[in-house]
Amino acid sequence: QPAGQLVILNWGDYLDPGLVVRFEAKFNVKVVQAFYLSDEARSEKLVETGGRGYDLILTSGIDLGKYAKRGWLAPLEVERLSNLKHISSRWRQGFAGSEQYGVPFSWGTTGIVYRADLVKTPITSWRQFFEPEAELWGRLSMTGDSQDYVSMALKSLGYSANSEDREQLKQVEKLLQAQKPHIRSYRYLSVRDDSAIVKGEVVVSMIYSGDALMLKEHNDQLTYVLPEEGGNVWVDYFVVGASCQNPELAYAFLDFLNEPKNAAQQALFSFSATPNLAAEKLLPKDFLENSVIYPDQESLKNSEFYRPLSARSQRLRNAIAARLTR
């Protein structure tokens, strides 16, 4: 009988199951994961419970600060994390509150994945996605997060992903409404072998970089591109819930994940860059040289982190999304 349980709120298919099994055996515990399909769905789950019910939460950098403000997170007790020293300060300090509350888990970009065998013109820009040629009509897929599609639509028009300009957001709504009839789904693509893009029902999709490489394992014709206008650079963090029932276990798990060999194993599983510098030394050369996982400065130069928006601007964006998906 396990001596305790650890409850984690997480993306599906993200945490290496092999690591979970090893942790459970080592500490004689049960790890229970609840999954969400989008950043917005995670926030909704936490609103429903008042942030309660989870020992650890995997969150985006941009949402971390919002959750801390609501009192849903416990400040990190860094003295309990002997492996935190391996993590690059660049990612620890990436967002408001991230150093105080978060343990960086992985990072990557938001861009486009397409089927090279089913698309006549290679995709290089957001404009091709938001203003698609007739051959792509009905064969496009979007992420489930309005933050991504509103921000990347702004990029396609030459604006900042974090724009709060009312006129620019009006142009974005017009662009998204014109694109809407050609979108097959506003749900995040499955990364499994029965995914719509593996089957060829979808040929172009907005996607997170690691997921594009997971999908490529099922179909070699899948190509990921960081569009010329730039994309989003995202960082995911583990945070401790304010109502954490088992802090001992939560910290043991975070430290276990950041043992260099475990962090390297996790990076290989999720095809995502690790913020753990000691783990990087253990990763194969072809992984470190893969430009989808580790894009060079030149291809990142137009990309942006998401930054907190004013309440007014957030309401405007929420309204655009509500009108689009109703």
pTM of the model: 0.93
- Give the mean pLDDT of 193-202: 94
Q: Percent of the chain, pLDDT > 70? A: 100
Note the maximum CA span of the chain: 60
pLDDT digits (tens, 9 = 90+) for 115-170: 999 999 999 999 999 999 999 999 999 988 899 999 999 999 999 999 999 999 99
Domain 108-232+300-325 has CATH 3.30.460.10: no
Whether 108-232+300-325 and 4-107+234-293 are alike in CATH topology: the answer is: yes
100, 117, 222, 288 from 67: Cα distances, Å? 12, 43, 35, 33
Q: Predicted confidence band at 323 (pLDDT cuts at 50, 70, 90)?
A: very high
Instruction: Calculate Rg over the CA atoms of the chain.
Output: 20
Q: Which of 164, 161, 142, 174 lies closest to 316, judged by CA?
A: 164
Domain 4-107+234-293 is of which CATH architecture?
3-Layer(aba) Sandwich (3.40)
List, in sequence order, every beta strand (DSSP E) within the chain.
4-11, 29-36, 56-60, 73-74, 102-115, 140-141, 183-185, 204-208, 222-225, 232-241
Question: Would you say residue 1 has pLDDT above 80?
Answer: no
**Which DSSP string do the residues of 280-294 spell out, in sequence order?**
HTTS-HHHHT-TTTS
**Which DSSP string do the residues of 83-149 spell out, in sequence order?**
TGGGB-HHHHTSSTTHHHHEEEEEEEEEEEEEETTT-SS---SHHHHHS--GGGTT-EE--S-HHHH
pLDDT digits (tens, 9 = 90+) for 258-289: 999 999 999 999 999 999 999 999 999 999 99
pLDDT digits (tens, 9 = 90+) for 75-105: 999 999 999 999 999 999 999 999 999 999 9
Locate tokens 């569009």: which residue?
A: 227
Provide CB contacts within 8 A for 268, sequence distance 6+.
283, 287
pLDDT for res 300: 92
**Which DSSP string do the residues of 235-247 spell out, in sequence order?**
EEEEEEETT-S-H
Burial 183-209 (b: 16+ CB within 10 A, else e): bbebebbbbeeebbbbeeebbbbbbbb
Question: Would you say residue 3 has pLDDT above 90?
Answer: no
Angle, CA 11 vertex, CA 10 and CA 12 arms, to 5° = 110
Domain map of the chain by residue range?
4-107+234-293, 108-232+300-325
